[in-house]
Structure 1
Amino acid sequence: MDHKELENVISDYQWLKREVARLEELLWGIGGVSGGSKSIGVAQYGIEAAMPKGSKGISKAELDKLDRREKKILTRIEKYKNMIEFVELGEESLEDPIQQTVYSCMMAGMSYRAIGKHVGVSREKVRQLRDEVINQLCQNCHFCHSWQYLKYKKQTV
């Protein structure tokens, strides 16, 4: 995995989350709640509580009815969700608290100056910490293999 490629994926994290919410709103019209169920977190009473619930995803019959544009949107949503999960996995693999903080700030899209002010170090030190974080993630075999899997994974839509 290329260092610049990893840095770009990390910096795109916030954009990816917003884009997934926008595409889900466009596809399902439910404000970014995946799965198509509007009653998440709402208790059901009476006969509604006893009725069987539908599956979370899209069934084969519904998938066949989707037009070409909706299928492309669904494919993009899955791709972006996988990238988001990949970036979040990277944060869990870091052990040093300062590196975790720098990584978290990178995910939030903060500039070097803002990260330096937050952590209490200079911009040059932030660059060094960022390089250490990216090098550590690139050397982590499990992390790199999951990226390769995501990058070349065939979509089933």
Structure 2
Amino acid sequence: MRNTEFDIARLVTDYRMMKAEIKRLQSIIYGFSIPMTNWGVAQYGLDAAMPKGSSGKSVAEMKQMDIREKKQRERLERMECIVFALESVFDILDDETAKTIYDCLLDGMTHRDIAAHLTTSKDFVRIKKQEIFRQISQNSQILTYLQKEKIAV
């Protein structure tokens, strides 16, 4: 596997940890957890025209935040971006078997568990996994989300 594919494999492995960390950081920063469906949802009609308060911190509050809170906010934004990219991979996968394998990988299942679930061999799962990571590494839209993680770290 190329370096990019290795990085993607590492991010897929860390996916469940990042989801839990996002929830924890959101509860620290906002006082509650924000569902992922509300991360940048477009609004139309009167909802879009009416003024709204920000769910984030104001400029004055940001200046008063201590260093730890700023770092937590930066980590939260970086992890939200990565999780969004990893979950949007389903849009580029055309094979249902590949989607099932990728979903099982995100759930933290081993190759043996996935093979038993699909009644196939571990080698088949390994080959499909490599194909999935190759497709991800060739998709420029998803890589732009994942590049933010590399730059920030």
Between 1:54-63 and 1:106-115, the stretch displaced more is: 54-63
Shift of 1:59: 1.1
- Number of aligned residue pairs: give it: 136
Shift of 1:58: 1.4
Match of 2:127 in 1: 128
Q: Give CA deviations for 1:33-75 in whole Å, capped at 9, x if unaligned.
A: 37xxxxxxxxxxxxxxxxx752222111111121111111111
- Counterpart AA for 1:123: K
- What CA distance in whole angstroms lies between the structure 2 residues aligned with 1:147 and 1:20? 16
What is the root-mean-square deviation of aligned Cα atoms in Å?
2.1
- Counterpart AA for 1:114: D
Structure 1 pair 140/124, CA: closer, same or farther in 2 (3 Å)?
Answer: same
Structure 1, gaps ≥5 residues long: 35-51
Structure 2, gaps ≥5 residues long: 36-50
TM-score under structure 2 length normalisation? 0.79
Match of 2:40 in 1: none
Shift of 1:16: 0.4
- What CA distance in whole angstroms lies between the structure 2 residues aligned with 1:73 and 1:95? 36
Shift of 1:150: 4.6
Structure 1 pair 150/115, CA: closer, same or farther in 2 (3 Å)?
Answer: same
- What CA distance in whole angstroms lies between the structure 1 residues aligned with 2:65 and 2:54? 17
- Counterpart AA for 2:54: S
Match of 2:17 in 1: 15
Work out whether 1:73 is the aligned partner of 2:69. Answer: no
Match of 1:48 in 2: none
- What CA distance in whole angstroms lies between the structure 1 residues aligned with 2:83 and 2:144? 16
Between 1:138-147 and 1:71-80, the stretch displaced more is: 138-147
- Counterpart AA for 2:103: S
Structure 1 pair 69/149, CA: closer, same or farther in 2 (3 Å)?
Answer: closer
Alignment of 1:37-56 (within 5 A): 53-56=52-55
SS in structure 2 at match of 1:2: helix
Alignment of 1:1-157 (within 5 A): 2-30=4-32, 32-33=33-34, 53-152=52-151
- Whether the 8 Å contact between 2:78 and 2:152 is mirrored in structure 1 is no
- Whether the 8 Å contact between 2:30 and 2:56 is mirrored in structure 1 is no
Q: Name the structure with the higher helix share.
A: 2
- What CA distance in whole angstroms lies between the structure 1 residues aligned with 2:6 and 2:29? 32
- Whether the 8 Å contact between 2:16 and 2:108 is mirrored in structure 1 is yes
TM-score under structure 1 length normalisation? 0.77
Shift of 1:141: 3.1
